[in-house]
A and B are shown apart, each in its own frame.
Chain A
Amino acid sequence: MTGSKKNTRHTASNHASWVQKFESSLNGQSLRALRQQAIADFDRLGYPTTADEAWKSVNPSALIRPDFEPAIPATLADAELEPFIYPDLQGIRLVFVNGHYAPERASDIPEGITIANLGDVYDHPLVKAHLGKLAQTTDLAFTALNTAFMRDGVFIHVQPNIIVEAPVHILFITTASETPTISHPRNLIIADENSQLSIVETYAGTGTETYLTNAVTEIIARDNASVNCIRLELQNTKGLHVANFQAQLGRSSRMTFHDFTFGGAFVRNDVSAYLRGEGSEATVNGFYALEGSQQVDNYTLLEHAEPHCPSHELYKGILGGSSRAIFRGKIHVHQKAQHTDAYQQNENILLSDNARVNTKPQLEIYADEVKCSHGATIGQLDENALFYLQTRGIPKAEARRILLRAFADDIIGRVTLAPVRSHLSDLIDTRLEHIYAKDMA
């Protein structure tokens, strides 16, 4: 970050207001040093602009509003929570409303697993040791802002050799109101040696007003651990969503991540998996279905630091209206990471002439013995396949739905938690109907 670049920023009053709010927000001495470093980084970085390499293709100005207030607690009616839970998912549930933990909504916690509201356990030795280690604040302004102002979220620690059968469902729900708010959910998940854990993160908004959710999740999978993550982004149509998901994999560990982006006016996802143990394996898949003027920016990094690690990455998207998707997939293979096997693919179907996709792979390979492949497609629905289905008596609208579902099911079908999978199936149907209803109108 050069000094001259900083001059091009339109930061001043905007970001300065957060710097001013910082001292008063400090919640005791816990994590003080971490937060202070973060606000200093934020002060130095300022809000991103399109001049930043990492924000080149989208205009982040929607995210930068001087009138955002810190979100305040609220109670959530049962009916407001209901659309986001899965009755068939027998698991552990934690709910956060406007960034604040809602203990009355939490389910019982089984043995062998530590689950707490992060805001209550800042002094836990593991929190002190690991929080902010993966999600660095030095060059990510929103992560710096999160770290300076974070409050609640989940802390999960699974002891060695423990297999947590019950999936953990974490819900962050914003009750949008006239005053635009910002919340900073923060999660730290540590799966010790030989342990297994499944988590589902849901980010959603009720109401119709705008707000910004700025989330950070750090995951540490130690040797031989297996962590299965699913994330659903269901913000309301004016919701703004920035999320940084960082996972570190130990020797022979496995991490799968399935990211579904449906809602929000503007969504920015940073997803990084650091393969730092020999023989570890990462799967990072994403799916987005967009309409209207939605903008979604997926920025992924697979970092192969050790030998014999496979990684699989598949992002697929369906775009209607004048929506816009960006996919940038970086694969960084260190010199030491021989026998890396990295696969990356991004496929898009445009349903309207005004929808746009930018897709850009970025490969940095410093090892010699590497299998690395990448590809991208942007196209329309296959007219010949549509016609073929129609000649068999299937009406055009249904034929379209079948083809789009087949495209989406390629990702949804990989979700191993059946109740979540069937919920996703309903969600995508509703989405597609919506996209078509709008585009045909």
Chain B
Amino acid sequence: MLEIRNLHAGVEGAEILHGIDLAVNAGEIHAIMGPNGSGKSTLAQVLAGHEAYSVTAGEVIYEGQDLLDMDPDERAVQGVFLAFQYPVEIPGVNSAYFLRTALNALRTARDEEEVDAIDFLSLIRDKLKLVEMDEKFLKRSVNEGFSGGEKKRHEILQMAVLEPRLAILDETDSGLDIDALRVVANGVNTLHSADKATIVVTHYQRLLNNIVPDVVHVMLDGRIVQSGDKTLAMELEEKGYDWIKEEHATHSV
């Protein structure tokens, strides 16, 4: 479904990703772990199409198409979704309007019929239940004044409404209390299926108890330096990153 080959990207004057290779098939859940500043969010933002990052080499093929060639909204239309590590506040735009506009933008682009206000309301009520969010959030401006955990749930709510085929969750578990973690994990599992793929960026093994990954990758200084099954995450939880850093240091000499 997704194939990243030798991806180099960065901001003006500074390369952050130094050659990423990653292949994700439909039905798989991949976890990306790695120390702060290793480039996980940069990878996620590049995949979503943030203009601040420029790609200097490599390619990203999504469902046989050149993903990097698409505008961010086109990527969404093609089924790519990014749950932001830091969701953006949008004063004056209420969540219900935002969600319906987004859903209808996708539907219009796919030549499907728009959802009217009444159908949307029943749809959104189901989705709110999935993430155990109160209907009152729909009336509030997008993310404005939301607590950290509420913002993360709101990301999963959007994912539930937009039903992407490739979901990238950037630290959606950070800052969540135990109940919220369960809710988010349950949401992600419910939305995952054999024809979909999910990439979760996380620092914590505990999320991976709830969302069981097929593959775990470790990112270090803009590269994926190690990949393995879920036991790799447990190993990291136990031993930290130092051993990988050392191992990687010797490898690269």
Contact = CB atoms under 8 A, between A and B. Distances in A.
A390 B73 contact: yes
Contacts of B92: 405-407, 409-410
A394 B102 contact: yes
A200 B245 CA distance: 70
B93 interface: yes
A389 interface: yes
Interface in A372-401: 382-385, 387-396, 398-399
A395 B49 contact: no
A58 to B, nearest CB: 30
A410 B106 CA distance: 27
B81 to A, nearest CB: 7
A402 interface: yes
B37 interface: no
Residue in A383, A393, A407, A409 with the greatest tally of chain B CB atoms within 10 Å: A393
Given A387-B50, A387-B51, A388-B84, A394 B90 contact: no
A396 B90 contact: no
A38 to B, nearest CB: 44
Contacts of A394: 73, 101-102, 105
Contacts of A326: none
A403 interface: yes
Nearest to A413: B92
Contacts of B81: 391
A395 B93 contact: no
Residue in B77, B81, B88 with the greatest tally of chain A CB atoms within 10 Å: B88
B87 A392 contact: no
B105 A388 contact: no
A391 B85 CA distance: 14
Interface string A300-323: 000000000000000000000000
A398 to B, nearest CB: 7
Contacts of B82: 391
Given A387-B51, A387-B72, A402-B93, A392 B162 contact: yes
Contacts of A403: 90, 93
Contacts of B50: 387
B240 interface: no
A399 B73 CA distance: 10
A405 B90 CA distance: 12
Contacts of A398: 101, 105
Interface string B40-81: 000000001111100000000000000000011101110001
A393 B93 contact: no
Contacts of B73: 390-396, 399
Given A398-B105, A402-B101, A391 B91 contact: no
Contact of B105 (A383, A393, A405, A407): A393
B109 interface: yes
B205 interface: no
A410 B84 CA distance: 27
A403 B106 CA distance: 19
A392 B158 CA distance: 8
Counting chain B residues whose Cβ lies within 8 A of the other chain, the interface size class is 20 to 34
A315 B98 CA distance: 26
B90 A388 contact: yes
A428 to B, nearest CB: 13
A389 B162 CA distance: 13
A390 B72 contact: yes
A59 to B, nearest CB: 35
B68 to A, nearest CB: 15
Interface in B174-202: none
B76 A390 contact: yes
A395 B105 contact: yes
B109 A388 contact: no
A385 B72 contact: no
Contacts of A384: 88
Contact of A406 (B49, B87, B91, B102): B91
A392 B88 contact: no
B93 A388 contact: no
Given A385-B88, A398-B105, A402-B101, A391 B72 contact: yes
Interface in A239-288: none
A62 B75 CA distance: 50
Contacts of B72: 387, 390-391
A385 B49 contact: no
B71 A390 contact: yes
Nearest to B106: A393
B49 A392 contact: no
A401 to B, nearest CB: 10
Nearest to A402: B93
B24 to A, nearest CB: 18
Residue in A391, A402, A410 with the greatest tally of chain B CB atoms within 10 Å: A391
26 contacts: A382-B88, A387-B50, A387-B51, A387-B72, A387-B88, A388-B90, A389-B90, A389-B102, A390-B72, A391-B73, A391-B75, A391-B82, A392-B76, A392-B102, A393-B106, A393-B109, A394-B73, A395-B71, A395-B105, A396-B71, A396-B73, A402-B93, A402-B98, A406-B90, A407-B92, A409-B92
- Give the 5 A-B residue pairs with the shortest CB-CB distance, closest first: A406-B92, A393-B76, A392-B102, A390-B72, A388-B88
